[in-house]
Copies of this chain bind each other. A is one copy, B any other.
Amino acid sequence: MEWIALVTLLVAAEYMFMTIMVGKSRGESGISAPKITGDEKFERVFRVQQNTLEQLIIFFPALWLFGYYMHPQIGALLGLAFLIGRVLYARGYIADPDRRGPGFVIGILATLALLLGGFVGAGLKLL
């Protein structure tokens, strides 16, 4: 499961980078805490991080259950697809919210594959 662990930590690092971007954007836009709206650029950067958080809550469990019940290396590859999807999502969204689609879809398909594989693997083990 070391591959799964490493992908988990890489995605965590990617997410931490997004949170640093939010802090930086807060400074540049002059949107002082606790405000989270009022500047289009800041709101885009903030939503990139928030939406990634919304995905991670199921991505991490799905990654580990797929890795354990199905196949660790394939799980790690799907995890890398998620990581790349999130880079495309962030770049697209910050350039223009209408261009956040492709990266989002790559990430959600990777998560769905992990969920489904984990479900089949855990279900088969129970039978």
Q: Which of A1-29 contact B (CB under 8 A)?
A: 2-3, 5-6, 8-9, 12-13, 15-16, 19
**Chain B residues near A69 (CB-CB < 8 A):** 5
Copies held by the complex: 3
A122 and B34 contacting across the interface, CB-CB below 8 Å: no
Known: A33-B97, A47-B34. A54 touches B8 (CB 8 A): no
A48-87, CB under 8 A of B: which get 1 and which 0? 0100011011101110010001000000000000000000
Measured CB to CB, the residues of A under 8 A from B are 2-3, 5-6, 8-9, 12-13, 15-16, 19, 32-37, 40, 43-44, 46-47, 49, 53-54, 56-58, 60-62, 65, 69, 93, 97, 100, 111-112, 115, 118-119, 122-123, 125-126
